Amino acid sequence: MGWVFDIEDPRAARAAWSRIAEPGDREAGALVQSLGPTGALRWLIGDARGRDAGAVAAKHRERWRNRLEGLDPRRELHALGALGGWLLIPEDEGWPEGLNDLGAEAPFCLWVRAAEGLAPVLGQRLCPSVSVVGSRASSAYGELVTATMAGDLAGRGVTIVSGGAFGIDAAAHRAALGAGGLTLAVMAGGVDRLYPLGNERLLAAVASEGAVISELPPGAAPRRERFLARNRLIAALGQVTVVTEAAWRSGAHRTAHVAAELLRPVAAVPGPVTAAQSAGCHRLIRQGVATLVTGADEVRELMAPLGLVTLEDPVVAKGPLDGLPDSDRQVLDSLPLRRGATVTAVVVASGLATPQVMASLGRLERAGRAVQAGGLWRKARSGGGP
């Protein structure tokens, strides 16, 4: 076989491997990790300088060799260049480090269409990042919750990663763009085709203001298995994965499990138990895979497990007896509203000891909660403080 490209170039060799092996091919990943992309190609094409790849790789050699014919990453790199794209490889400084957690299932390279200047620093811009995922068949509630959460996070500098699909994914990308934040869409096919077609305009905006990426070369079709494999990249790229709305059975549910296996914090937003669209979120929480979250602050808390973010309880209206010791509350509750009661009567009604009741009555009187007239005690009408 003659080689039309320079297999010594790690960039070209990795681009070639992204076409030879399907996403998530563990054997190919292990091979490239052990011999390097060039070394692995040498062995595959039977180059004299090729080292032995071992028995496991040998078993899979035929299926990889089937894809050697017509292989020319220069053509695909050219197609990428025509789109203003960029190939990112693990040797680059901008490589998203989180992807390395995938081990032998890490992608060989990333085909990137991004805002100017973003691709070379993509990895740096993924810290902090949150992957927001959910079902395509979303409800108005799910879209509202997603938009609120993604917009809030993006507005605070968190990069929003999602899959570019209809429903929840689209709501997440759109909110991030709307908040002037950064967002990243991970495709299941080549970045030359913005899939699904119905989201083409949204994804074009993501590509020009954020990034659209894929581990597959231009021309690769999005296929079912590739969607499933793509989900592992979404799980690995976010420091936290949030499922904002998902049916019992959904890709988002699987992405959440992958994120949990990667030891990433996983969060899920609850919804009405009467809505099938939230069943997947409830399932993840019940399984202990996901933490229940109700808003962006609780997601941010998961990103800073060492206490960098501290949550405050929501502000709720204070009750009229807040801040009173228990015995004062009990005495106040025992006081009549109209006709006054003797201290003895209050002692009997409250069930407390006489000295305690007298001390409480003094405090309540000073606080304007109780009034006394002629030795008879009753509640102050306003019930207010001083």
Residue 283 belongs to what H/E stretch? Answer: helix 279-286
Measured distance CA(95)–CA(310) in Å, rounded: 31
Least distance from C-beta 174 to a copy of itself, angstroms? 19
- Using CB under 8 A as the binding rule, whether residue 344 contacts a copy of itself is answered as yes
**How far is 188 from 37, CA to CA, in rounded Å?**
22
User: Binding of a copy of itself at residue 273 (CB under 8 A)?
Assistant: yes
Decide: is 373 part of the binding site for a copy of itself (CB under 8 A): no
Among 330, 340, 360, 377, binds a copy of itself (CB under 8 A): 330
Closest CA to 23 of 136, 76, 102: 102
Structure tokens at 55: 């028995």
Q: Is 25 in the site for a copy of itself (CB under 8 A)?
A: yes
Q: Is 269 in the site for a copy of itself (CB under 8 A)?
A: yes
Decide: is 306 part of the binding site for a copy of itself (CB under 8 A).
no
User: 3-state DSSP helix/strand/coil percent for the chain, to nearest 5?
Assistant: 45, 10, 40
Contact between 172 and a copy of itself per CB under 8 A: no
Query: In angstroms, what CA-CA distances link 39 with 104, 270, 279?
Result: 16, 49, 48
Interface residue with a copy of itself, options 353, 366, 368, 385 (CB under 8 A) = 353
Nearer to a copy of itself, 131 or 334 (CB): 334
DSSP 8-state assignment for residue 211: E
Contacting a copy of itself within 117-156 (CB under 8 A): 141, 144-145
Cα distance between residue 386 and residue 368, in whole Å: 6
Residue 241 CA to residue 255 CA, distance in Å, equals: 8
Q: Is 298 in the site for a copy of itself (CB under 8 A)?
A: yes
By the rule CB under 8 A, 52 interacts with a copy of itself: no
- Region near a copy of itself per CB under 8 A, out of 155-163, 252-260, 324-332, 367-375: 324-332
Element at 141 (helix H, strand E): helix 140-155
Positions that interact with a copy of itself (CB under 8 A): 21-22, 25, 60, 62-63, 66-67, 69, 141, 144-145, 223-225, 247-249, 269-274, 278-279, 282, 285-286, 291-295, 298, 313-314, 316, 321, 326, 329-330, 333-334, 344, 347-348, 350-354, 356
